[in-house]
Amino acid sequence: MVLSLSITEIDESLSDENLLRIYETSRWISPEEISKKFIKPVSKKVKLKKDILEALLGTLDGKKSVWEISVALRDKQFNVSPLDVYNALEAFRSVGVVRVIGLRPLEVIPHAEIYRKVPIAETIHVPEAYEMEAIISKEEKIKGLPEAPPTIEIQETPPKVVAPPIPEMKIPVEKLTQSVEKIFKRFFAINDSAETALIATHEGIAVAFFSREASEIKEGSLAAASAVILNVAKRSGQFFERGTIDEIIIKAKSGYIIIVPVTPEFVLSVSTTEGARLGMVVRDVKWVSSQIRNIVKSLIKNVPMT
């Protein structure tokens, strides 16, 4: 029998395997030696505080999966995502502190019931390289224009240079939505404060919208707003010489809005309840973003413009 799996299915299986891994501490290294030699370098590598790493190692009993460990740490008020836990354990494994001893069944990872909306379009064509034009009001344009000259000199028109077409990437929307739906079910299951999540292109085209409850939010308007906010933030980062944008956090009266550029083509926008733990949400959004990034890479195909 031949088992045929797509790249996307393989990536999803690997993602499941990472969350289901069971680790245990090496029997040949004492807790004192771990604390003295390994906590600090691992903390620097994975960018987690020492107390979090100590608590993480304290939960290793040879029974809990990465997912279950992350839930246990969150119950202790540590701001960690499943990705944080996996990366930390892999860092410890690389220096011989822990080892993988098995996998938990897939059923240990809960899936929240969520609502989703999928655009009518079957595919999204996204230019490989583009930049949104700055939004300038009519008044600013008028103020910046010089007075019209009294005479107009007619000059020869220089030959028009035609740039080669920019290749596009053809992304099947339904396949992308189906692939990321499982990620969002886990995200909503582990983070009670998350209310909505949107994937859109940087041009403001909605790709998929998920919510904890049936929502009347217009995903098209939300996608356009997310694209504009991201574009303004990018320009602000350049203006203030602060580099690229990692995430945009908006604090509103009823909660937070976190906008993250997932890839050069897609942006993720998440809204939360008023009492959300911001540090936890940001880490979860980064975890979700990394998962979506892997899926997009596996789906993307360069095709000539039609």
pLDDT band (50, 70, 90) for residue 175: confident
Q: Which of 4, 2, 10 is nearest to 299 (CA)?
A: 10
pLDDT band (50, 70, 90) for residue 41: very high
Q: Which pLDDT score, from 0 to 100, does residue 174 have?
A: 74
Mean pLDDT value across residues 287-300: 86
Indicate whether 81 belongs to any domain.
yes
Q: Which pLDDT score, from 0 to 100, does residue 39 have?
A: 95
Higher pLDDT, 141 or 61: 61
User: What is the share, in percent, of the chain residues with pLDDT greater than 90?
Assistant: 46
Indicate whether 156 belongs to any domain.
no
pLDDT above 60: residue 1: no
Q: Are residues 174 and 88 in the same domain?
A: no
Dmax of the chain from CA atoms?
Answer: 90
User: What is the share, in percent, of the chain residues with pLDDT greater than 70?
Assistant: 73
Q: Are residues 96 and 173 in the same domain?
A: no
Q: Are residues 95 and 198 in the same domain?
A: no
Q: Are residues 70 and 120 in the same domain?
A: no
pLDDT band (50, 70, 90) for residue 170: low
Q: Are residues 252 and 290 in the same domain?
A: yes
Q: Are residues 97 and 124 in the same domain?
A: no
pLDDT band (50, 70, 90) for residue 133: very low
- Rounded to whole angstroms, the Cα distance separating 170 from 304 reads 9
Is the pTM for the entire model greater than 0.75?
no
Q: Which pLDDT score, from 0 to 100, does residue 149 have?
A: 52
pLDDT band (50, 70, 90) for residue 102: very high
- From residue 231, give the alpha-carbon distance in Å to each of 85, 127, 267: 32, 16, 11
Q: Are residues 60 and 120 in the same domain?
A: no
Domain containing 39 equals 7-108
Q: Are residues 97 and 218 in the same domain?
A: no
Give pLDDT tens digits for 213-263. Answer: 877 778 888 899 999 999 999 999 988 988 889 999 999 999 999 999 998
Structure-token pair, residue 272: 């939360």
- Average pLDDT value for the chain: 79
Indicate whether 145 belongs to any domain.
no
Give pLDDT tens digits for 274-289. Answer: 989 999 999 999 999 9
Q: Which pLDDT score, from 0 to 100, does residue 135 have?
A: 38
pLDDT above 50: residue 127: no
Strand-strand pairing, 255-261 and 98-103? unpaired
Q: Which pLDDT score, from 0 to 100, does residue 276 have?
A: 92
**How many domains does the chain divide into?**
2
Q: Are residues 84 and 121 in the same domain?
A: no
Indicate whether 134 belongs to any domain.
no
Q: Contact 19/65 with Cβ under 8 angstroms?
A: yes
Mean pLDDT value across residues 173-178: 76
Mean pLDDT value across residues 12-41: 86
